[in-house]
Copies of this chain bind each other. A is one copy, B any other.
Amino acid sequence: MTKQAMAKVAWKPGTMLAPVPAVLVSCGGTGQWRPNLITIAWAGTVCSEPPMLSIAVRPERWSHPILTETGEFVVNVPGLAQARAVDWCGVVSGRDTDKFAGAELTPGAAQVVGCPIVQECPVNIECRTRQTLALGTHTLFLAEIVAVQVSAELLDESGRLMLERAELLAFAHGDYYALGKYVGHFGWSVAKRQTERDRQRRGGEE
């Protein structure tokens, strides 16, 4: 790469990490709380063992007291088929809307937590909050992953998870994208030879 091609411009310090996930978080469905959905892009994995993730939510959001009082939620990982619902659940408030009905999504049974999963989403990650941190505009919920369900159609005949069948959605700088070209598996840069699966997924090209 030429020096010119690598020239840099100072940009406003901001939330520029990308791509990030765009997920449907479900909560409520117990006690006084109706089931609700909130779209979250400020989410990430934070620990492998115990498996943990974080979601960041503004205190003024309708879901915030539901999350703090119940201590439970489900991260529903959407596919391309849920893209419109993901966006819609990010701009409408659950204060005066049944978002499951409005987004034409089906509440399904979780395994461990009290709130519903989104049945249409290919991956459902049930979480119990361990710690909350007030960071500024957002409260960070650090949660343990206590159960996972995947759509049966993601498994191949040997029971292997083929997550590429989920047609996952990514978010970058205000825009949603589908995942595109397969680049390689973790460790491919030092692999002695290409695996058969790699060859298939790259469509034969090196």
Contacts and interface: CB of A to CB of B under 8 A. Distances in A.
B183 A180 contact: no
A26 interface: no
Interface string A138-158: 101010011111111101000
A185 B126 CA distance: 28
Contact of A180 (B171, B181, B188): B181
Contact of A119 (B8, B9, B161): B8
Interface in A60-104: 75, 77, 80-81, 83-85, 87-88, 90-92
Q: How large is the interface on A (under 10, 10 to 19, 20 to 34, 35 or more residues)?
A: 35 or more
Interface in A18-70: 18-21, 23, 41-54, 56
A119 to B, nearest CB: 5
Contact of A136 (B14, B20, B47, B152): B47
Copy number of this protein in the oligomer? 2
Interface in A100-152: 106, 108, 111, 117, 119-120, 123-126, 131, 133, 135-138, 140, 142, 145-152
Nearest to A130: B135
B17 A44 contact: yes
A66 to B, nearest CB: 20
Interface of A: 1, 5-21, 23, 41-54, 56, 75, 77, 80-81, 83-85, 87-88, 90-92, 106, 108, 111, 117, 119-120, 123-126, 131, 133, 135-138, 140, 142, 145-153, 155, 161, 163-164, 168-190
29 contacts: A5-B151, A6-B108, A6-B119, A7-B153, A8-B117, A8-B119, A10-B148, A13-B147, A14-B145, A17-B23, A19-B179, A41-B45, A42-B45, A44-B45, A44-B46, A46-B135, A46-B140, A47-B137, A47-B138, A52-B136, A87-B189, A92-B190, A164-B172, A164-B175, A176-B182, A176-B186, A177-B180, A177-B183, A178-B181
